[in-house]
Amino acid sequence: MRSPRLAVPPLDLPGEAEPSFQADLRRALAAPPHAISPKYFYDAEGSRLFDRICGLPEYYPTRTECAILQRHAADIAAQVGTGSDLVEFGAGSCSKVRLLLPRLQPRRYLPIDISAQHLQLAAAELVSAYPGLVVVPLAGDYLGPVRLPPALPGARRVGFFPGSTIGNLAPQEALQFLRGAARLLRGGGLLLGADLVKDPAVLHAAYNDSQGVTAAFNRNLLARANRELGTDFDPGGFWHGAFYNAALQRIEMHLVSRRSQRVRLAGDAFDIPEGLALHTENSYKYTVAGLQSLAGQAGFRPAAVWTDEQALFSVHWLQAPDEMDGRKDG
């Protein structure tokens, strides 16, 4: 009988100390800057909506990155190598890794995602599609302290961070994540997707789709609070606002109150005036040189870069420091 290939994920990554949704929402409602982490988008419903966003005609990042991965899979495998311990940060539906699995042939795949239910389903589907693949899904926040299972003997640890999720992090947060990844992947490397600076009109269309799926994804944060925290938000009482801040090279997403309203959270009432904007997400855009510079500061050695013909998106192979370099990086 074939041994099990799918391990049951823990409720949290070992060592994780994530602030609660309730505490973070309370801070966001109580005082400026009225902002909350985009990680709270990704309950099961939010993950489902994001999968829909990825297929929208206006949303170029997913199809562009997938085309890059497909076109350059052989070259990527030549850089990354085969037989690795493959770790995906923010794995979501585990769809993009499928484009590389036949070439990379990892000995083990460890997807990390904050939505445990969505991750379990995606991991089970992956095992069904690739019966020989050992999958160890880990449910939790990869931005917290990450302690992975012991590396397999003789296998390099390779990270996969597609989707330009790096853009959701402020520059200092991105640097902190990359420093942690450089230590975690010591002796291996990181394959990272990064969205590029481009015509603001293209960006505006991508985050304000004609079907309103991105707006529903944004408002789902409020619906999730109602479901999980017992708040009484009226999601329809908020506009979806997304725009490109050229000075900071980032898309900003906000939920803007259409009217004065009161929301209750854990016994407290918060008055939300008309026009108040709850800042729900940033999506920073990079130049190739800018991303390589950031990776270099974190201790990586930038190597190969692949882009599409229109230079909309980039995929980077970043070599992690070896053991000696890792100790120096500290």
Q: Is 323 helix (H, G, I), strand (E, B) or coil?
A: helix
Closest by alpha carbon to 80, among 94, 101, 110? 101
Element housing 193 (H / E): strand 189-195
| pLDDT at residue 140 in the model | 85
Dist CA 158 CA 182 (whole Å):
10
| pLDDT at residue 10 in the model | 42
Ordered structural domains, the chain, with CATH: 21-51+200-284 (no CATH), 58-198+286-329 (3.40.50.150)
| pLDDT at residue 328 in the model | 40
| pLDDT at residue 18 in the model | 43
Q: Let me know: does 315 contact 69? Beta carbons within 8 Å.
A: yes
Indicate the pTM of the whole model: 0.88
Q: What is the pLDDT along the chain (330 residues), one digit of tens a residue?
A: 333 354 444 434 443 334 589 999 999 999 999 999 999 999 989 999 999 999 999 999 999 999 999 999 999 999 999 999 999 999 988 999 999 999 999 999 999 988 888 888 999 999 999 988 999 999 888 887 778 899 899 999 999 999 999 999 999 999 999 999 999 999 999 999 999 999 999 999 999 999 999 999 999 999 999 999 999 999 999 999 999 999 999 999 999 999 999 999 999 999 999 999 999 999 999 999 999 999 999 999 999 999 999 999 999 999 999 864 444 433
Q: Let me know: does 316 contact 76? Beta carbons within 8 Å.
A: no
β-pair partners for 191? 160, 317
Q: Are strands 85-89 and 277-284 parallel, antiparallel or unpaired?
A: unpaired
| DSSP tag of 151 | P
Q: Is 160 helix (H, G, I), strand (E, B) or coil?
A: strand
Instruction: At 230, give phi and psi (nearest 5°).
Output: 75, 20
- In angstroms and rounded to an integer, the radius of gyration of the C-alpha atoms of the chain is 20
